[in-house]
Amino acid sequence: MEISNYMREEHRSCDEAFAKAEQAASSGDFKEAFKHFEEFMIDTLKHFSKEEEILFPTFEEVSGSTEGPTQVMRYEHGQVRELLEQLKNAIDSEDKERFFSVADTLMILLQQHNMKEEQMLYAMCDRLLAPQARELVEKMKEH
């Protein structure tokens, strides 16, 4: 459970930053919204890069498959990255309506993505990568 615990914790902390950004935007405080959004964006991109550069390649190597779940996850990361750009633009132009419309799409996509990872991919990683779990988590912490 070492891998899934660590990764799930990161999902949670991204969720929290995002909730704070949404809250600030709904009260019209775009400066505050941007501060929390930036935190959310940096954390999310960092989490993606831990997956793409450390966890997924190890999973692919051990499972012998690059066309399974990791390929779908990488594709979804691309979709989230595009939405992050759009959300950044909405904040820059203080477009509240646009902010919430993009934020909704982003949140639905990210929640589904995270759920798939937690229920499927991370569970597979826990099983398949048990011998190197500790080392992997350490590597991701330092990343």
Residues in contact with Fe ion by the rule CB under 5 A: 51, 73, 117
For Fe ion, the closer CB: 58 or 99: 58
C-beta closer to Fe ion: residue 43 or 117: 117
Q: Which is nearer to Fe ion, 22 or 117 (CB)?
A: 117
**What minimum distance in Å lies between the beta carbon of 10 and Fe ion?**
7
Nearer to Fe ion, 24 or 50 (CB): 50
- How far apart are CB 110 and Fe ion at their closest, in Å? 9
Long-range contacts of 99-104 (CB under 8 A, 24+ apart): 99/25, 99/33, 100/22, 100/25, 100/26, 103/18, 103/21, 103/22, 103/25
Least distance (Å) between residue 30 CB and Fe ion? 28
Please enumerate in sequence order all residues whose Cβ is within 8 A of that of 78, keeping only pairs 6 or more positions apart, or say none: none
Measured between alpha carbons, how far is residue 15 from residues 32, 40, 130 in Å? Answer: 16, 8, 27
- Residue of minimal CB distance from Fe ion? 117
